[in-house]
């Protein structure tokens, strides 16, 4: 069987020197019908290896559940890598960061305050052992030593940047992870990766494991830092940052292709191996994007284009060709090149059916609302992502609503009418109330668990005491929403309306007629909105929602992700495999209201203003 080893100076594949030239391609950010296309284009750029993280919470969304089907079929993804003649590097965490919800750690696990986060704690290690036992056998059977593509497996991730445990405790934790990995039949080399910083490299690794570094510029200097901490063996940049992620409310990040290419050339010329982060970014579909909080909470956008060589829709960029030219100076590159982007279909969609937000929210509650003597966290409600609803009553003298903290954003309604927003990002934790009694509803959105730093694992929802100017509010009804079921709810409501039950369903008096759901000037109220359209089957689309404020978007029942007029992203990517020739359905959950009742599909993506 083939072998892959870490030699005194080089990686050795079957005893021969191998310079690993890899690219990050996350199967969980790409529609599975497009995996083969993205992998093929990696080979055409000259890559010989594909790297992927594995997000634990993507495969284990609930306690006792482990899913390896469909979008989660890592085995199929690795088989496609092998079929393209490429190798693979797998990075299973347990923590991955990756701007992913919670850095991949399951919220249901960390809901127990007794569970240690990224340290040698029995409950945490026991859960990791079960995770590895469910995942790693499929990796083990695809190792290069078993005739498969997998060259190496990572232990933890940038651990040197986390926590303040003493070094012996940190190494005890890492060695426990090594044992858990090896117990599942992983016999290829294991490695760690940390930023190219002496302290982080020392704190994040083990003497017996190969160390790799992460950086995006000044390659020669960073390799010197790595060599001080890894005296022998090949030098590898495990994350060569050739772009950056975007956060809502900030600019779209770009990294100049020429500078990226020059730094890559320096790295390869020095004999170093590399993993481009990212080769292809993809999309944070659904509710999977994470957030950063370094004093200001910054949720990550739905687009994870990352200014990568291969754009979000899988088309090559100027950076693709600049890096391909560099790689060709050091390795053999195929003659074939991928096709340029073709304009996507352009069309308008009228969203002609509507369920008001006040009617949609109770219909989406998972089971019955529970009663509480405090405002519970989402974790207390058994909710690991998405939306929760909180209800109580107020008096005319309450005047102002204040919360200790909201994680992460809440639409505040009085008797179904909006009165304000609480927002973690802007530290808005108070809202004025009308001077009347009524039912107060808070629709609270988890915009993504923090994925980096000491706030990993914190609870979401309403945090601390909730009070008014007159009193503490200690009588609550609360529950989790099934936001993912919104399109099904809307279809059921429309069916009921067609049967004469419009009033009960909450559908406007003329469901199916735009005039029946429009307000003054053709505006759309908060709630669920639906339209249908015909287009080109199998073609990628770019959904543009100018005039809409904030919410979620579905095409044919698939949750594309969040949209927000805050920007920078102005389009949502719709993978071609989701689109039919006729009878496509677009559904929006709009949290505030819109200046229009229409949406558009446009020819090209619009990722927003840049810092350049």
In this structure, the answer to whether residues 390 and 492 fall within a common structural domain is no
> Residue 517: what pLDDT?
36
In this structure, the answer to whether residues 220 and 307 fall within a common structural domain is yes
Band (pLDDT 50/70/90 cuts) for residue 612 is low
pLDDT at 506 over 70: no
Band (pLDDT 50/70/90 cuts) for residue 497 is low
Q: How far is CA 245 from CA 29, 224, 274, 465, in A?
A: 13, 27, 20, 34
Band (pLDDT 50/70/90 cuts) for residue 496 is low
Domain count, the chain: 3
Measured in residues, the chain has a length of 612
The Cβ of residue 439 has, within 10 Å, a number of other Cβ atoms equal to 14
CA distance 171 to 571: 45
In this structure, the answer to whether residues 183 and 265 fall within a common structural domain is yes
> Residue 493: what pLDDT?
74
Query: Residue 453 sits in a domain of what CATH number?
Result: 2.60.120.260
Q: Are 38 and 30 in contact (CB under 8 A)?
A: yes
Tokens of 134: 């469910």
Assigned domain for 612 exists:
no
Average pLDDT along the chain: 94
Compute and round to an integer the Cα radius of gyration of the chain.
25
DSSP 339: P
pLDDT at 503 over 50: no
Assigned domain for 216 exists:
yes
Among the options 158, 379, 458, 590, which is catalytic? 158
CA distance 267 to 24: 17
Tokens of 3: 């072998």
> Residue 372: what pLDDT?
98
pLDDT at 88 over 90: yes
Tokens of 501: 């039950």
Q: Are 401 and 505 in contact (CB under 8 A)?
A: no
- The Cβ-side half-sphere exposure at 183, using a 13 Å CA radius, reads 14
CA distance 399 to 383: 30
> Coil, helix or strand for 588?
strand
Q: Decide if 239 is catalytic.
A: yes
> Coil, helix or strand for 22?
strand
Q: Are 478 and 381 in contact (CB under 8 A)?
A: yes
In this structure, the answer to whether residues 317 and 292 fall within a common structural domain is yes
Domain encompassing residue 178: 4-328
Assigned domain for 610 exists:
no
Q: Decide if 158 is catalytic.
A: yes
> Coil, helix or strand for 283?
strand
Question: Helix crossing, 318-328 with 257-269: angle to 10°?
Answer: 20
**Cis status of the peptide bond prior to 408, with omega within 30 of 0:** yes
In this structure, the answer to whether residues 212 and 138 fall within a common structural domain is yes
Assigned domain for 462 exists:
yes
CA distance 63 to 380: 14
CA distance 99 to 103: 7
Tokens of 339: 């096709």
pLDDT at 279 over 70: yes
> Residue 85: what pLDDT?
98
Torsions phi, psi of 160, nearest 5? -65, -15
Band (pLDDT 50/70/90 cuts) for residue 610 is confident
Encode 289-322: b = buried (16+ Cβ within 10 Å), e = exposed: bbbbbeeebbbbbbbbbbbbbbbbbbbbbebbeb
Assigned domain for 472 exists:
yes
Least confident of 137-151, 416-430, 504-518: 504-518
CA distance 442 to 409: 10
Tokens of 87: 């190798």
Averaged over 566-585, what is the pLDDT?
98
The separation between CA 330 and the C-alpha centre of its own chain, rounded to angstroms, equals 34
CA distance 511 to 9: 70
pLDDT at 268 over 90: yes
Among the options 99, 239, 379, 458, which is catalytic? 239
> Residue 270: what pLDDT?
97
pLDDT in tens, 103-138: 999 999 999 999 999 999 999 999 999 999 999 999
> Coil, helix or strand for 80?
helix
> Residue 516: what pLDDT?
32
Helices and strands, number each (H, E), in the chain:
13, 31
Q: Are strands 16-18 and 11-13 parallel, antiparallel or unpaired?
A: antiparallel
> Residue 365: what pLDDT?
94
Q: Are 158 and 214 in contact (CB under 8 A)?
A: yes
> Coil, helix or strand for 237?
strand
Averaged over 195-218, what is the pLDDT?
97
CA distance 239 to 245: 14
DSSP 120: S
In this structure, the answer to whether residues 515 and 565 fall within a common structural domain is yes
In this structure, the answer to whether residues 506 and 464 fall within a common structural domain is no
Q: Are 304 and 283 in contact (CB under 8 A)?
A: yes
Query: Residue 237 sits in a domain of what CATH number?
Result: 3.20.20.80
CA distance 179 to 165: 20
> Residue 522: what pLDDT?
75
In this structure, the answer to whether residues 385 and 489 fall within a common structural domain is no
Question: Helix crossing, 122-140 with 74-83: angle to 10°?
Answer: 40
Band (pLDDT 50/70/90 cuts) for residue 484 is confident
CA distance 483 to 485: 5
Assigned domain for 434 exists:
yes
Q: Are 244 and 255 in contact (CB under 8 A)?
A: yes
In this structure, the answer to whether residues 73 and 177 fall within a common structural domain is yes
- The Cβ-side half-sphere exposure at 269, using a 13 Å CA radius, reads 10
Band (pLDDT 50/70/90 cuts) for residue 489 is confident
Q: How far is CA 540 from CA 32, 41, 147, 341, 582, in A?
A: 14, 17, 35, 10, 15
Least confident of 288-297, 410-419, 427-436, 503-512: 503-512
In this structure, the answer to whether residues 497 and 590 fall within a common structural domain is yes
pLDDT at 512 over 90: no
- Please report the beta strands in 74-209, taking only residues with DSSP state E, as ranges in sequence order: 87-91, 150-154, 190-195
pLDDT at 67 over 80: yes
Q: Are 292 and 244 in contact (CB under 8 A)?
A: no
> Residue 417: what pLDDT?
95
In this structure, the answer to whether residues 91 and 67 fall within a common structural domain is yes
Averaged over 357-372, what is the pLDDT?
93
Assigned domain for 427 exists:
yes
Encode 535-546: b = buried (16+ Cβ within 10 Å), e = exposed: beeebbbbbbbe
> Residue 513: what pLDDT?
31
- Give the bridge partners for 598, in sequence order: 350
Contacts of 397 (CB under 8 A, 6+ apart): 435, 469, 470
> Residue 499: what pLDDT?
59
> Residue 190: what pLDDT?
98
Which of 590, 546, 591, 593 has its CA nearest to residue 571?
Answer: 546
Q: Are strands 236-241 and 273-280 parallel, antiparallel or unpaired?
A: parallel
From first CA to last CA, the distance across the chain in angstroms is 51
Averaged over 441-451, what is the pLDDT?
98
In this structure, the answer to whether residues 415 and 442 fall within a common structural domain is yes
DSSP 132: H
CA distance 22 to 261: 15
pLDDT in tens, 235-264: 999 999 999 999 999 999 999 999 999 999
CA distance 269 to 217: 14
CA pseudo-torsion sign 481, 486, 490, 491:
negative
The separation between CA 130 and the C-alpha centre of its own chain, rounded to angstroms, equals 23
Contacts of 580 (CB under 8 A, 6+ apart): 535, 537, 556
pLDDT at 508 over 80: no
pLDDT in tens, 46-57: 999 999 999 999
Least confident of 316-325, 326-335, 362-371, 421-430: 362-371
Band (pLDDT 50/70/90 cuts) for residue 611 is low
Averaged over 196-216, what is the pLDDT?
97
Assigned domain for 360 exists:
no
Band (pLDDT 50/70/90 cuts) for residue 504 is very low
Per residue, the 3-state secondary structure of 194-205, as one string, reads EECCHHHHHHHC
């Amino acid at each position: 069987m083939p072998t892959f080893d870490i030699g005194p100076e080089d990686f050795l594949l079957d005893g021969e020197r191998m310079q690993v030239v890899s690219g990050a391609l996350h199967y969980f950010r790409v529609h599975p019908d497009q995996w083969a296309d993205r992998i093929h284009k990696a080979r055409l750029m000259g890559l010989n290896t594909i790297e992927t993280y594995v997000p634990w919470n993507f495969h284990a969304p609930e306690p006792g559940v482990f899913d390896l089907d469909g979008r989660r079929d890592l085995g199929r993804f690795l088989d496609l890598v092998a079929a393209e003649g490429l190798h693979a590097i797998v990075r299973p965490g347990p923590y991955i960061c990756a701007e992913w919800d919670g850095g991949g750690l399951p919220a249901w696990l960390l809901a127990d305050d007794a569970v240690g986060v990224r340290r040698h704690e029995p409950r945490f290690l026991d859960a990791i052992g079960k995770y590895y036992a469910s995942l790693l056998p499929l990796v083990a059977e695809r190792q290069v030593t078993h005739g498969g593509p997998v060259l190496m497996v990572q232990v933890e991730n940038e651990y040197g940047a986390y926590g303040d445990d003493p070094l012996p405790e940190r190494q005890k934790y890492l060695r426990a992870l090594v044992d858990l990995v090896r117990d599942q039949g992983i016999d290829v080399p294991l490695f760690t990766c940390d930023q190219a910083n002496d302290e982080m490299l020392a704190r994040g690794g083990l003497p017996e494991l190969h160390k790799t570094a992460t950086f995006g510029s000044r390659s020669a200097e960073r390799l010197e830092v790595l060599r001080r901490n890894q005296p022998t063996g090949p030098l590898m940049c495990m994350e060569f940052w050739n772009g950056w992620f975007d956060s809502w409310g900030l600019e779209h990040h770009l990294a100049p292709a020429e500078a990226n290419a020059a730094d890559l050339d320096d790295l390869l010329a020095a004999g170093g191996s590399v993993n481009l982060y990212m080769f292809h970014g993809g999309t944070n579909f659904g509710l999977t994007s994470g957030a950063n909080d370094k004093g200001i909470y910054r949720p990550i956008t739905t687009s994870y284009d990352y200014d990568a060589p291969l754009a979000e829709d899988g088309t090559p960029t100027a950076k693709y060709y600049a890096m391909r030219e560099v790689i060709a100076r050091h390795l053999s590159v195929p003659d074939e090149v991928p096709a340029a982007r073709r304009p996507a279909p352009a069309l308008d969609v009228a969203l002609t059916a509507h369920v008001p937000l006040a009617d949609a929210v109770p219909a989406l509650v998972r089971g019955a609302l529970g009663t509480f003597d405090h405002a519970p966290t989402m974790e207390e409600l058994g909710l690991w992502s998405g939306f929760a609803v909180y209800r109580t009553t107020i008096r005319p003298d309450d005047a102002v609503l204040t919360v200790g903290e909201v994680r992460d954003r809440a639409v505040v309604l009085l008797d179904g009418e909006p009165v304000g927003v609480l927002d973690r990002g802007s530290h808005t934790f108070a809202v004025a109330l009308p001077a009347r009694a009524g039912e107060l509803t808070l629709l609270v959105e988890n915009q993504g668990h923090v994925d980096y730093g000491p706030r990993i694992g914190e609870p979401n929802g309403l945090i601390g005491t909730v009070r008014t100017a007159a009193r503490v509010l200690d009588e609550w009804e609360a529950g989790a929403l099934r936001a993912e079921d919104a399109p099904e709810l809307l279809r059921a409501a429309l069916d009921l309306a067609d049967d004469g039950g419009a009033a009960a369903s909450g559908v406007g008096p003329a469901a199916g007629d735009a005039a029946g759901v429009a307000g003054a000037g053709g505006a759309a109220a908060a709630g669920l909105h639906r339209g249908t359209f015909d287009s080109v089957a199998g073609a990628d689309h770019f959904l543009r929602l100018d005039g809409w404020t904030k919410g979620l978007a579905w095409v044919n029942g698939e949750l594309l992700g969040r949209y927000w007029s805050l920007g920078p992203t102005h389009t949502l990517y719709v993978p071609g495999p989701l689109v039919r020739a006729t009878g496509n359905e677009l559904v929006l959950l709009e949290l505030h209201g819109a200046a229009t009742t229409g949406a558009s599909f446009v020819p090209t993506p619009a990722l927003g203003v840049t810092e350049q």
